[in-house]
């Protein structure tokens, strides 16, 4: 029955080609919507500070959901499609780690209380899903119409990878954001928080709270990161359903990942180098795709081994750091 609506074939470019019925898209969006509703109205209905244990459990649940969707892809479309989905999910998940650290910088700079941070990130994720969908469909449309765009994407990812590898860390200064200055000019704003509200009333006038400005800044950072991550995922799949679903499930778990790893940037010293290798690899794959076919299984192996090596080296380096000597 399902096979009449969902089919998979091999394309000339060595990517799967899917025939996805409209009801499958509707079912995916409804499922994502249910997850978001449960998260905001049940699990995080009341503002509270997430404990490390809660963040670990939530992160494990989100990752499990994302990986479990691999089985759905495999049953509906086959192993090749499932491989593309896992590759896309892993790329998006790994590249999003830097996004998490930038969020931590923004939220700490503007002194957003811990109990309100989830609400900001929830709506930030909600907006990110819509933005990513736009990026994905636009990118696929460009590739289909202008094949040379692949070389532009590949060169950009290769450049980004080398820049990430060899240049020093550039600290973001949230106070220098032009977006925030524009918000304050256009939108009447308050300098005081009103719980976890984005808008409040002062002297019968509706104004934006600082949380609204922070939310827009979070959205802006996601746009900037999407410029890297979406072309990277398009290097392992060209199917809208696979690319969007892998991005969506990876993004959904970022809030829990934030509360789990936001303060761990210094403990993962080699993660940046691992991400640089992954970006360079997928960029090179795009550049040579016409002459050399790198199977999805090989791409997946390279990414897993690179991340494992980066995390392993980081943990080893962190343990070898001399501990601070007690003060006499």
pTM of the model: 0.70
pLDDT at 31 over 90: yes
328/198: higher pLDDT:
198
Tell me the pLDDT band of 67, cut-offs 50, 70 and 90.
Answer: very high
The Cα-based distances of 325 to 171, 303, 317, 321 in angstroms read: 29, 38, 18, 12
Rounded Cα–Cα distance for residues 229 and 240 (Å): 15
Q: Which residues contact 73 (CB under 8 A, 6 or more apart)?
A: 81, 82, 85, 242, 245
Directed axis angle between helix 114-145 and helix 254-261, to 10°?
Answer: 130
pLDDT one-digit tens code per residue, 88-122: 898 888 777 767 767 776 777 777 777 787 778 77
pLDDT one-digit tens code per residue, 163-173: 777 765 555 55
pLDDT one-digit tens code per residue, 213-230: 788 877 777 776 677 677
What is the helix, strand, coil percentage profile of the chain, to 5?
Answer: 70, 5, 25
pLDDT at 2 over 60: no
Which range, of 70-79, 231-240, 270-279, averages the lowest pLDDT?
270-279
Tell me the pLDDT band of 328, cut-offs 50, 70 and 90.
Answer: very low
What ranges do the domains of the chain cover?
A: 2-170+223-317
pLDDT one-digit tens code per residue, 201-217: 877 778 887 778 788 87
153/136: higher pLDDT:
136
31/149: higher pLDDT:
31
The Cα-based distances of 303 to 78, 294, 307, 308 in angstroms read: 21, 13, 6, 8
């Amino acid at each position: 029955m399902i096979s009449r609506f969902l089919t998979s074939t091999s394309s000339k470019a060595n990517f799967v080609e899917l025939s996805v019925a409209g009801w499958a898209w509707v079912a995916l969006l409804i499922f994502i919507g249910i997850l978001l509703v449960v998260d905001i109205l049940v699990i995080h209905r009341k503002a509270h500070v997430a404990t490390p244990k809660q963040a670990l459990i939530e992160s494990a649940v989100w990752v499990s959901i994302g990986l479990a969707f691999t089985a759905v892809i495999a049953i509906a479309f086959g192993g090749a499609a499932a491989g593309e989905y896992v590759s896309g999910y892993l790329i998006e998940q790994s590249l999003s780690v830097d996004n998490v650290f930038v969020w931590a910088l923004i939220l700490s700079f503007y002194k957003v209380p811990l109990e309100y941070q989830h609400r900001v990130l929830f709506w930030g994720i909600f907006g990110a899903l819509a933005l990513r969908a736009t990026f994905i469909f636009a990118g696929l449309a460009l590739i289909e119409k202008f094949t040379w765009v692949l070389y532009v994407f590949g060169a950009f990812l290769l450049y980004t990878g080398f820049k990430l590898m060899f240049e020093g860390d550039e600290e973001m200064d949230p106070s220098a954001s032009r977006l925030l200055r524009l918000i304050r000019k256009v939108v009447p704003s308050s300098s005081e928080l009103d719980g976890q509200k984005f808008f409040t009333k002062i002297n019968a006038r509706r104004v934006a709270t600082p949380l609204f400005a922070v939310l827009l800044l979070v959205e802006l950072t996601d746009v900037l990161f999407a410029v890297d991550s979406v072309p990277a995922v398009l290097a392992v799949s060209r199917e809208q359903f696979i690319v969007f679903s892998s991005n969506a499930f990876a993004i959904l778990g970022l809030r829990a990942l934030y509360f789990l790893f936001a303060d761990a940037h210094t403990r993962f010293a080699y993660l940046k180098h691992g991400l640089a290798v992954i970006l360079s690899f997928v960029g090179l794959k795009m550049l040579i795709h016409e002459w050399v076919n790198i199977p999805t299984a090989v791409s997946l192996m390279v990414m897993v081994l690179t991340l494992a090596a980066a995390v392993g080296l980081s943990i080893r380096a962190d343990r070898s750091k001399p501990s601070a000597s007690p003060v006499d």
